[in-house]
Chain A
Amino acid sequence: MNAFVTIIHRDLLLVMRRKSEVLTALFFFVVVTSLFPLGIGADAALLRKIAPGVLWVAALLSTLLGLQRMFAADYADGALEQLILTPQSLVLLVSGKVAAHWLVSGLPLVILAPIIGIQFDLDASSLYVLMASLLLGTPVLSLLGSIGAALTLGVRGGSVLMSLLIMPLYIPVLIFGAGAVYANSVGLDITGHFSLLGALLILALAFVPWVSAAALKIAIE
Chain B
Amino acid sequence: MTTTISATSSQSNDVLQALALTCVRGERQLFHALDLEVKSGECLHVRGANGVGKTSLLRLLTGLSKPESGDVLWNHHSIQEDPKQYHRELLFLGHRDALKEDLTALENLEMYAALDGISITSEQALASLWRFGLRGREELPVHYLSAGQKRRVLMARMAIRQAKLWILDEPFNALDVDAVQALQNLIAEHLRLGGLVVFTSHQEIVLPQMRVLEL
Task: Flag the segment in A6-14, A137-145, A151-159, A170-178 that touches B.
Answer: A6-14
A-contact bits for B126-155, CB 8 A (1 contact / 0 none):
000000000000000100000000000000
> Which among A79, A85, A89 is the interface contact of B92 at CB below 8 angstroms?
A85
Which of A1-60 touch B at CB < 8 Å? 2-3, 6-7, 10, 13-14, 17-18
Do the beta carbons of A82 and B64 come within 8 Å of each other?
no
Asked whether, in the complex, the Cβ of A14 is within 8 Å of the Cβ of B103, the reply is yes
Interface residues of B in 32-84 (CB under 8 A from A): 62-66, 84
Please give the distance in Å from B100's CB to the nearest CB on chain A. Answer: 6
Contacts of A87 in B (CB 8 A): 84-85, 87-88, 116-117
The answer to whether residues A18 and B102 also contact, given A6-B111, A87-B87, A221-B66 and a CB cut-off of 8 A, is yes
Q: Please report the C-alpha to C-alpha distance between residue A84 and residue B84 in the assembled complex, in whole angstroms.
A: 10
Q: How large is the interface on B (under 10, 10 to 19, 20 to 34, 35 or more residues)?
A: 20 to 34
CA distance A79 to B97 in the complex (A): 8
Min CB distance A148 to B, Å, is 23
Any chain A CB within 8 A of the CB of B99?
yes
- Contact status B64-A88, CB under 8 Å: no
Residues of chain A from 175 to 200 with CB closer than 8 A to chain B in the complex: none
Contact of B64 among A18, A76, A77, A220 (CB under 8 A): A220
What B residues does A13 contact at CB under 8 A?
103, 107
Tell me the complex Cα distance, A77–B88, Å.
Answer: 22
Q: Which of B64, B65, B96 contacts A85 (CB 8 A)?
A: B64
CB atoms of B87 and A86 under 8 A apart? yes
A168 at the interface (CB under 8 A from B): no
Task: Provide the B141-176 mask, 1 if CB < 8 A to any CB of A, else 0.
Answer: 100000000000000000000000000000000000
Residues of A within 8 A of B117 (CB): 2-3, 86-88
Report the interface size class on chain A.
Answer: 20 to 34
Q: Is B106's beta carbon under 8 Å from chain A? A: no
CB pair A2–B114 under 8 Å, yes or no, is yes
Contacts of B66 in A (CB 8 A): 221
- A82 — nearest CB in chain B belongs to which residue? B98
**Shortest distance from the beta carbon of A146 to any chain B beta carbon, whole Å:** 19
Structural contact, B64 and A221, CB atoms closer than 8 A? yes
Nearest chain B CB to A195 CB, angstrom units = 38
Q: From residue A110, how far is it (CB to closest CB) to chain B in Å?
A: 26
Contacts of B114 in A (CB 8 A): 2-3, 6
| Distance between Cα atoms of A6 and B103 in the complex (Å) | 14
- For the A-B complex with A6-B114, A77-B99, A79-B98 known, give 5 more contacts whose Cβ atoms are closer than 8 Å: A10-B111, A17-B141, A18-B102, A79-B99, A89-B84
Question: Which 10 A-B pairs have CB atoms at the shortest separation, nearest pair first?
Answer: A78-B96, A17-B102, A78-B98, A87-B88, A6-B114, A87-B87, A86-B115, A221-B65, A82-B98, A79-B98
Q: List 20 A-B contacts (CB under 8 A).
A: A3-B117, A6-B114, A6-B115, A10-B111, A13-B107, A14-B102, A14-B103, A77-B96, A77-B97, A78-B95, A78-B98, A79-B100, A82-B98, A82-B115, A84-B64, A85-B87, A86-B87, A86-B116, A87-B85, A88-B115
